[in-house]
Chains A and B, each alone.
Chain A
Amino acid sequence: MAAAATSTTSTTPASPDAAASGTPDVRKMPIAKALNESLRSAMENDPKVLVMGEDVGKLGGVFRITDGLQKDFGEQRVIDTPLAESGIVGSAIGLALRGYRPVVEIQFDGFVFPAYDQIVTQLAKMHARALGKIKLPVVIRIPYAGGIGAVEHHSESPEALFAHVAGLKCVSPSNASDAYWMMRQSIESDDPVVFFEPKRRYWDKGEVDVTAIPAPLHAARVAREGGDLTLAAYGPMVKTCLEVANAAQEEGRSLEVIDMRSMSPMDFDTVQKSVEKTGRLVVVHEAPVFLGTGSEIAARITERCFYHLEAPVLRVGGFHAPYPPARLEDEYLPGLDRVLDAVDRALAY
């Protein structure tokens, strides 16, 4: 995969309407830095944007996503919080009611559940309960998914648990450009957004044009065109799927790869268009397959593309088991071989 990393496996979008806004300012940076730059520019643009979470201040976050922000914006805007996730989200709700736009960091995926009640019961519903009179522009950043050899509770993919909840929006970038722009757009959103950051891709570099006009936050993107089968993925699995497409190409198969980018809402139109062309769809995510986002994609695409499908929609993902200890995660996570196996099965119909 290293060899291919330059061209075909790049997850970076070709060039999102760059020219449109004048001189492009293109910089190459890792996803982590793109997120940091995005937070910085959002804070510069809007004094109401706050960053809060555990260790986000002096330390800059355990992944350094907020590195340097407290130094430049002060302790009032980059707030180290007590170690209490419900408290973090609950107080962020209060700050939003006061007119602020808090960007909350949950340190790891597995730590979000103490805040789940505040997110699901309060944050998601409050706009509707007030008949639309109040807005809750809160972004909840969650470094998620596995692949870094971490201990328990540091590698989970809980996105379906949030995408299932009306009132929340859920997105996950796969590359530096999307990391930058989707974060900016999430912060500008008047709805709560759960922002899933693919932690094992934090250090993957890509080009970011900070002058570009970005694609809509919830639009999927065709990351690679192909005609034989469609792979749909988001976040960390986009890179995996591009690698799969490379490998398949060597066997003479042309795979189209769609970066979903958003799990709520989901851009089914883009997937539909692709499947109407390819007739086959494999959905890939790290989260357990059972009742996962892939199940929803499979159901919707089956409804929309029933007469175009040449094979059932297949899903590749985690098992109905706790995320395994690190020594087993390479087997657990969907990788080249497991995805190719599903591709073979779909093509065999």
Chain B
Amino acid sequence: MTVESTAARSTSRRSGTGGKRATKKAASAPGDAGSTTGTTAKTAKRSKPAGSKPAKAAKTAKPTKAAKTAQPARTARSAKPRAAGQGANGSAGPELVQLLTPEGERVEHPDYAIDLSAEELRGLYRDMVLTRRFDSEATSLQRQGELGLWASLLGQEAAQIGSGRALRDDDYVFPTYREHGVAWCRGVDPTKLLGMFRGVNNGGWDPTTNNFHLYTIVIGSQALHATGYAMGVSLDGADSAVIAYFGDGASSQGDVAEAFTFSAVYNAPVVFFCQNNQWAISEPAERQSRVPIYQRAAGFGFPGVRVDGNDVLACLAVTRAAVERARSGQGPMLVEAFTYRMGAHTTSDDPTRYRRDEERAEWEAKDPIARLRAYLEKDGLADDAFFASIDEESEAMGKHVREAIRTMPDPDTMAIFENVYADGHALVDEERAQFAEYLASFADSAESAGEGR
């Protein structure tokens, strides 16, 4: 288990440029099979012949110390004998796209630039803080018995806010069940997310209101829905993009592989956003893959890139590029956000049984919110009043969520029979009527007893 990944190696203080390949290298490959070799090849970046490695497509490039030499960072990876089972995390370092170090220092990347105003930066900070607050409130509410279960996103705020803020309103999101931060970016009322965890519904919102699909619990299924939706976008001639979220565990699912295949052969405008949070309940990412997850894209003929998932700026920049690529007809792209699940899988899980405390501590030092705050403070992009206002807003949100959950009504019993079918179904009608009659029989006896009816 590598876990010492990201930050550590993310030294990348890439001093400038190795040649600013602002190039959208990806620009060339239309996403079909050709891109594997195509993309790669063409990018000069590959200094070494590196044989096999199909350049993980373009954007991968990763600066590293090595990279100081102008070119080719990415090659570092290619040169390795990957076959030997480097594991899902590989040597996470070199290829990791990073724009903000764990210490809050802005660094540049040759392929992914970002230029945000102070206001935008403060906005990202606010998003992450409020998302974390909502999440911790939900965890507390589960402990208090208000929710049956909660899946915390603690630690993954940057991956979700960065990617979520890269989207347009007309884009469409297919989440797992942990994308509370993305939901926030889409404008979904946070309290709506609690319904299924409280047990009052199995989804509970209209996906078309915010172009944010229902949470999907079965692992990886939504990657295909996103792909089909994206095929529809293409058929419509629209320039919207679709983004499918999933995790390191889901990367093993056949549906995810099939989604890669379908999206590639139809050149569908979909971004696969994998949050590799290192753990699928108790199984480490190494149990899911022998190669770094982002490298799988190459085999399907589209680019894959690994981004520091605790760096909101990098997640935003890379997702923007991927979404732009989709919009402009270049097909799918895989983004692997290298992050960490700071909490348990869900409130039912006990991570002390399978992972070390030190590991969590290591990731704590790479906290996504702390690093952005450090940057804002250091560069004078936000003052104390701003931070105080966010704290205040955060408190207010917590209160709102607590009140909302405590007043959330249980569904009507007969809701069991609602919306089973759009056009109705004789059996459902029959059973509904029978059950209503059965329930009414109690009411009758109660009434007759009480009121002498």
Residues in B neighbouring A127, C-beta threshold 8 A: 419-422
- Of B3-11, B80-88, B222-230, the segment with at least 4 beta carbons within 8 Å of chain A is B222-230
Out of A93, A136, A264, A267, which one reaches B224, CB within 8 Å? A93
State A161–B427 Cα separation when bound (angstroms).
Answer: 17
A132 and chain B: residue at smallest CB distance: B419
| Interface range on chain A (Cβ under 8 Å from partner) | 35 or more
**Which residue in chain B gives the minimum CB-CB distance to A99?**
B232
Are B225 and A122 interface neighbours, CB within 8 A? yes
- Contact, CB under 8 Å: B258 / A87: yes
Taking a contact as CB atoms under 8 Å apart, the answer to whether B261 and A84 are in contact is yes
Residue A135, interface by CB 8 Å: yes
Interface membership of B299, Cβ < 8 A? no
- Contact mask B207-246 → A, CB, 8 Å, 1/0? 1100001101010010111111111110110000000000
Asked whether A98 lies within 8 Å of B265 as measured between CB atoms, the reply is: no
Q: CB distance B208 to A128 under 8 Å?
A: no
The answer to whether A118 touches B262 (Cβ under 8 A) is no
Q: Is B361 an interface residue (CB 8 A)?
A: no
Q: Is B259 an interface residue (CB 8 A)?
A: yes
- Chain A: CB-nearest residue to B242: A94
Instruction: State in angstroms the CA–CA spacing of A98 and B421 once bound together.
Output: 19
Interchain CB contact under 8 A, B419 and A131? yes
A76 near B235 with CB under 8 A, answer yes
Minimal beta-carbon separation of A59 from chain B (angstroms): 17
**B-chain residues with CB within 8 Å of residue A166 when the two chains form the complex:** 420, 428
Given A86-B258, A130-B207, A167-B420, do A95 and B228 touch, yes or no (CB 8 Å)?
A: yes
Given A95-B231, A98-B233, A133-B208, A86:B202 Cβ within 8 A: no
Please measure, in the bound complex, the distance between the C-alpha atom of A224 and the C-alpha atom of B258, giving whole angstroms: 47
Expressed in whole angstroms, the Cα–Cα distance for A125 and B423 within the complex equals 14
Q: Does A100 contact B (CB under 8 A)?
A: yes
A84 touches B262 (CB 8 A): yes
Contact A121 B206 (CB under 8 A): no
Please determine whether B224 and A91 come into contact, CB atoms closer than 8 angstroms. Answer: yes
B201 within 8 A of A: yes
Chain A nearest CB: distance from B378 CB in Å? 44
Residues of the B chain whose Cβ atoms lie less than 8 Å from the Cβ of A94:
224-232
Instruction: Find A130's partner among B206, B225, B262 (CB 8 Å cutoff).
Output: B206
Min CB distance B251 to A, Å, is 16
Using a CB–CB cutoff of 8 Å, the interface residues on chain B facing chain A are: 201-208, 213-214, 216, 218, 221, 223-233, 235-236, 254-255, 258-259, 261-262, 265, 418-423, 425-428
User: Considering the complex of A and B, which 8 residue pairs feature the smallest CB-CB distances, nearest first?
Assistant: A94-B228, A90-B224, A98-B232, A91-B228, A129-B203, A87-B258, A132-B419, A133-B206
